[in-house]
Structure 1
Amino acid sequence: PFPAILFVHGGAWNAGTRTGQEIFNTGLAASGLVIVSIDFRLAPDHPYPAQVEDTSYAVRWLKAHASEFNASTDSVGGLGSSSGGHTLMLAAMRPHDPRYTVLSSPDVEGHDGTFAYTIAGWPVLDSFARYQYAQSDGYDRLVKNTDNYFLNEDAMQEGSPQGILDRDEEADMPPFLIIQGTADLNIPMSIPRTFAHSYRIAGGEAELEEFPDMPHNFVTEASEATDRALELAKTFVARQLATTAAAV
């Protein structure tokens, strides 16, 4: 069986589909990985934590049904894009949170929501800081979409991966690769840099790979930067799988 990765798409919590990162995901699949890409409930009809609930259920479902895809239940990884990176990291850092594991079915019983490793492109790792940034820089669409999902600032802070670290909450910290363009107008560079530092201080492994002059969502188009990002992701996954195999 092949190693499996669950993909959580972006779209500012309000839009997007599972086919949104096809070039990158197809490239990963071609290296011998099973990429399972999901659709999930969106704001404004479904506010926080609906998307984390769906992601938690999806990884448990994937583990239960892996054999149907010729995939392994061992070392299931996560891949997230933009707001999907936010959702992925909440699910990964709080895999046993009863608010997130509320969805269930007989077939997923006995499987947990943990991830062996995570990869995120231009992720919203601090939902409240990004909200403040969008307000101060006049990104009205981002402000509205964030309001649609979280409903209030308390939820933005509680449902923030950075907040989990800042509050010293008990959390799972799978090895994490962050892919970030430095010309991303949606994500100020301070957010991934602060998160990677905080994650390491808390005992986790975090790699931040910065791509000069690249915008938000740059891997949706073929380019040298996309090729480099793909190779970084492949190498990261291979290293995680080798580490897991050596530990068995």
Structure 2
Amino acid sequence: MNQAGSPSFDVEVRDVDYLNKAGTPMKARLYLPQGAGPFPMVVEIHGGAWCRGSRLDEHNLNVTLARRGIAVAAIDFTMPPEGSFPASLRDINHAVRWVKATASQWRTRPELVGLLGVSSGAHQAVVTAMRPREPLFAAEPPEPSAPPANVDAGVAFVVACWPVIDPLGRYRYAKALQASGKPYPEAIDRVIPDQEKYWLTEEAMGEGSPAAALERGEGFEMPPLLYIQGEDDIVHPRAHLDRFVAAWRRAGGTLTLQLYAGEAESFITRRPGSAGTAAAIADIGDFVLKQGQAILADSLS
């Protein structure tokens, strides 16, 4: 038994192609609990300021979730210089539709599929969850393995680990920190050029901001959301978190906020042995399993 008292599953790990882009395959690493299921499943979106990283980044997190009975599809996606906004969001939208269309292969169901992301990946997870049928993101050309047209990217839940929830606000915040002089987190010197390479314009950053979109009163899907962040994180400004959480709840959405004392940015990856990391991974697992159990219970009632 694991720390939450749930069964511990053996896990199969394998790589598959989820999309072929002009002859270039995009890969997903699948973490599949070995059992009858159906298991809840997350499409996991790595971080790296939209420009770096890979599907391998959150291996320890994904293995731990799979051992608790949560299937994971950790995906690669298009990044600069191969493509800027919205190329990655098109890949992610496609990945969700692909997972839902092939759900029985992974011992899950379409209605049990959610999203999990970290940092810029969490931003993209929230955008995808909020705008699953946005034509700009659902515009991947058809291919022989494309999901059926009636399968959209709507998800049952979303887990956002320290998301860049307001890209324009974070860009201006980082520029101001840099202009003020050191000391500031070394990540600031990386994220500024990365944001410029991905977004290209401040107008695009504002258009792609979940916090700003909610404040503009635009209509979106609002699945249950778990928001995770370290209390000492100054790369992802607390003011942006507070704005988004307030706007989401004002709009009637369900949001669980978990803050971890003594933890800064990227703590789950950077501090795998910390108490905060153990607590956060347990909280993620508990949240996803709870969502899955509620959905299955509703299907039987």
TM-score relative to the length of structure 2: 0.79
Instruction: Choose which of 152, 157, 163 in structure 1 pairs with 2:206.
Output: 157
2:265 counterpart of 1:216: yes
* Deviates most, 151-160 or 223-232: 223-232
Aligned pair partner of 2:277 in 226, 229, 247: 226
SS state at 1:179 partner = strand
Equivalence for 1:86: 123
Q: Give structure 2 stretches of 5+ with no counterpart.
A: 1-37, 179-187
Question: 1:4-19 counterparts in 2 under 5 A?
Answer: 4-19=41-56
- Structure showing the higher strand proportion among its residues: 2
How far apart are residue 84 of structure 1 and its match? 0.2
Correspondence 1:63-82 to 2 at 5 A: 63-82=100-119
Equivalent residue letter for 1:52: L
Q: How does 1:33-112 map onto structure 2 within 5 Å?
A: 33-103=70-140, 104-105=142-143, 107-109=146-148, 110-112=150-152
User: For residue 244 of structure 1, what is the amino acid of its counterpart?
Assistant: I
Counterpart pick for 1:237 among 279, 288, 291:
288
Aligned counterparts of 1:191 and 1:118: Cα–Cα separation in 2: 18
Q: Which amino acid aligns with 1:203?
A: G
Q: How does 1:139-150 map to 2 (within 5 A)?
A: 139-150=188-199
Quick one: distance in 1 between partners of 2:119 and 2:52?
A: 12
Find the aligned partners of 1:194 and 1:235 in 2 and give their Cα distance: 25
Q: Is the partner of 1:74 in helix, strand or coil?
A: helix
Identity of aligned residues (%): 37
Write 1 or 2 for the structure with the bigger share of helix.
1
Residue equivalent to 2:162: 122
Equivalent pairs counted in the alignment come to 248
Work out which of the residue numbers 227, 252, 255 in structure 2 matches 1:206: 255
**Structure with the greater relative contact order (CA < 8 A, sep ≥ 6): 1 or 2?**
1
1:187 aligns with 2:236: yes
Q: Secondary structure at the match of 1:108?
A: coil
Q: TM-score, normalised by structure 1?
A: 0.96
Unaligned stretches of 5+ in structure 1? none
What letter matches 1:37 in structure 2?
A
TM superposition shift of 1:241: 1.8
Deviation of 1:2 (Å): 1.9
Decide whether the 8 Å contact of 2:116 with 2:125 is kept in 1.
yes
Q: Which structure has the bigger radius of gyration?
A: 2
- Counterparts of 1:11 and 1:188 in 2: how far apart (Å)? 17
Counterpart contact for 1:24–1:226, Cα < 8 Å: no
Shift of 1:73: 2.1
Q: Deviations over 1:32-77 (max 9, x none)?
A: 1110000000123311111111100000001112222223222201
- Find runs of 4+ consecutive structure 1 residues off by over 3 angstroms: 104-107
Amino acid at match of 1:142: V
